[in-house]
Amino acid sequence: MTYSVINKLKDQNAINDHILTQINSLTIEDLIAIKFELSAKHLNHRLYGFDIWHRSNYIIKEAILKFALSATKSKKDAARFLGITYSEFRRVTKKYGVKEYFDDI
């Protein structure tokens, strides 16, 4: 099975090549800040109750797991890429819900 966040979002018509070109010109820090700003905009610029500082570790690890699956040919390769054992990889993909994210591929 080939995993790709880009392909999944393209299939859902959530992104296209033009958007990807624009995203590619931004830093990851800018992308994260933009996403938080957009999310807060719908709540009068308040994300009260969402502990961004302590949840950022979870958010980043989920994103890294999705990338590792997209960048490698197998789950075992993804585990090696991340420098963790395959059993640890299986545990964290379940913990972060990454397996379910790609289930419909």
Q: How many CB atoms lie within 10 A of CB 58?
A: 11
Task: Give the pLDDT of residue 1.
Answer: 66
Q: Do 72 and 81 form a contact (C-beta atoms < 8 A)?
A: yes
Whole-structure pTM value: 0.78
The confidence band for 26, taking pLDDT boundaries of 50, 70 and 90, is very high
Q: Do 8 and 102 form a contact (C-beta atoms < 8 A)?
A: yes
Q: Quick one: what percent of the chain has pLDDT higher than 70?
A: 92
Average pLDDT along the chain: 90
Mean pLDDT of 15-40: 93
Task: Give the pLDDT of residue 28.
Answer: 93
Judge whether residue 5 has pLDDT over 80: yes
| Cα 88 off chain centre by | 18
